[in-house]
Amino acid sequence: MPEQLNTRVEDCFQQAEAFFKRPFKRPVVSLKLRGQKAGVAHLHENLLRFNPQLYRENSDDFLKQTVAHEVAHLIAHQLFGDRITPHGEEWQLIMRGVYELPPNRCHTYAINRRSATRYIYRCPCPDSDFPFSAQRHGLVKQGRGYLCRRCREPLVFTGLTRVE
């Protein structure tokens, strides 16, 4: 799997070099990205991070569009510097002119969201459920307190949880 990805990254760089008639510094490529993003270009670190799950589930489009999208960010940065907008005209020029692809800002891949446990807190106000994340609930257990914005009373854990 990573071999095809690395090959596509190299192909994109070679296309850009042929188009602009100059060399570009190659990035480090990582498959350590989780969540909703398909890829991220870290411009100053010259690093590309890709989401392995979205790659596996959408490999053809991912290789064609997402890899070119992220490489185009690095190429635009190396050509034009820091003062350009991420999906501005310079980046769009590269997507259209070099890769002959639509300059789509976002992917349309289906994403399976993870379920999250919410810890229910309340105050004296009527209908006052405050679902806390596991992280915030942990902070309360360490001694942090939270107040209701309406009545200014402390929020108290009810002992109830729900999965969203």
Three-class secondary structure assignment of 42-77: ECCCCEEEECHHHHHHCHHHHHHHHHHHHHHHHHHH
pLDDT at 112: 76
The annotated binding site for Zn(2+) is made up of 69, 73
Q: Quick check: is 70 catalytic?
A: yes
The domain spans of the chain are 1-99, 117-163
Q: Return d(Cα 107, Cα 93) in angstroms, integer.
A: 19
The annotated binding site is made up of 69, 73
At 117, list the tokens: 């446990």
pTM above 0.95, yes or no: no
pLDDT at 1: 58
SS3 state at 119? strand
Reported as a single tens digit per residue, the pLDDT across 9-39 is 999 999 999 999 999 999 999 999 998 899 9
Question: Domain 1-99 is classified in which CATH homologous superfamily?
Answer: Metalloproteases ("zincins"), catalytic domain (3.30.2010.10)
pLDDT in tens, the chain (164 residues): 589 999 999 999 999 999 999 999 999 999 999 988 999 999 999 999 999 999 999 999 999 999 999 999 999 999 999 999 999 999 999 999 999 999 999 988 888 777 889 999 999 999 889 999 999 999 999 999 999 999 999 999 999 999 98
Q: Which of 10, 45, 70, 100 is catalytic?
A: 70
